[in-house]
């Protein structure tokens, strides 16, 4: 009976821990666990539509579902890796693969937020990756490119610039809200930079690359 009672107590503690654990702070726990000098990176996948299988270097790593917040692959050795997304559909081959070779930087969360459509024009999303540099001036350097020329970019809803944006210095005191738009296309809105100030400070001197693909609205 004592063993049964002990098991029940452990079970209750486990359930309460799962409920009370601050899941939104797991990224900072991950950083503290490995330390800032680790040689790993990570990949976060967001689905903007549909369920997708994720492959890293041709190895299946899981499925991101449309209703999931995101799926993270961690740890990833730094360097170049092949990332492939396959949208799950009842008809095989209806959706093309999303496939890219991406350079993963030490300690940086590479992000892919995407919806695979039947064609490139009906697909949309954005990719964020980074490269470290020796520039330590209290800023990061933002590059934004798009397959479509001259997209309008709003940074924090105040500053309008057209793509391509090259090495624009941005401060690290807050996150950045980005809105990309063009007439005839569905706009995209998203945020970059970590929530945590300590994590943002570690991006001092980093060159950030954002690649955007806008969905072309039917005529």
Higher-pLDDT residue of 32 and 206 is 206
Q: How many CB atoms lie within 10 A of CB 64?
A: 23
Q: Measured between alpha carbons, how far is residue 86 from residues 26, 60, 80, 89, 112 in Å?
A: 27, 10, 20, 9, 13
Tell whether the model's pLDDT for residue 79 goes beyond 60: yes
Q: How many CB atoms lie within 10 A of CB 23?
A: 9
Rounded Cα distance between 189 and 178, Å, is 6
Instruction: Identify any residues that bridge with 83 across adjacent strands, giving them in sequence order.
Output: 56, 100
CB-neighbour burial class of residue 191 (10 A; exposed 0-12, middle 13-18, buried 19+) = exposed
The domain limits of the chain are 22-216
Residue 117: band (very low, low, confident or very high) from pLDDT cuts 50, 70, 90? very high
The model's pLDDT over 153-185, given as tens digits with 9 standing for 90+, comes to 999 988 789 999 999 999 999 999 999 999 999
Q: What percent of the chain has pLDDT over 70?
A: 83
Closest to 109 (Cα-Cα) out of 124, 130, 125: 130
The model's pLDDT over 87-100, given as tens digits with 9 standing for 90+, comes to 999 988 899 999 99
């Amino acid at each position: 009976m004592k063993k049964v009672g002990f098991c029940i107590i452990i079970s209750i503690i486990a359930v309460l821990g799962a409920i009370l654990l601050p899941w939104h702070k797991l990224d900072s726990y991950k950083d503290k666990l490995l330390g800032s000098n680790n040689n790993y990176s990570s990949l976060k996948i967001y689905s903007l539509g549909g369920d997708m299988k994720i492959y890293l270097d041709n190895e299946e790593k899981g499925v991101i579902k449309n209703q999931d917040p995101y799926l993270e692959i961690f740890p990833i050795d730094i360097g170049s890796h092949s990332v492939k997304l396959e949208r799950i559909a009842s008809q095989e081959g209806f959706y093309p693969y999303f496939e890219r070779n991406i350079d993963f930087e030490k300690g940086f969360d590479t992000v892919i937020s995407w919806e695979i459509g039947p064609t490139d024009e009906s697909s949309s999303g954005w990719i964020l990756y980074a490269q470290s540099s020796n520039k330590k001036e209290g800023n990061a350097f933002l590059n934004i490119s798009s397959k479509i020329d001259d997209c309008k970019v709003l940074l924090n809803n105040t500053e309008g610039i057209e793509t391509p944006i090259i090495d624009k210095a941005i401060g690290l005191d807050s996150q950045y809200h980005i809105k990309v738009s063009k007439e005839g296309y569905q706009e995209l809105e998203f945020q970059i930079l970590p929530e945590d100030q300590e994590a943002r400070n570690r991006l001092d001197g980093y060159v950030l690359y954002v690649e955007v693909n806008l969905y072309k609205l039917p005529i």
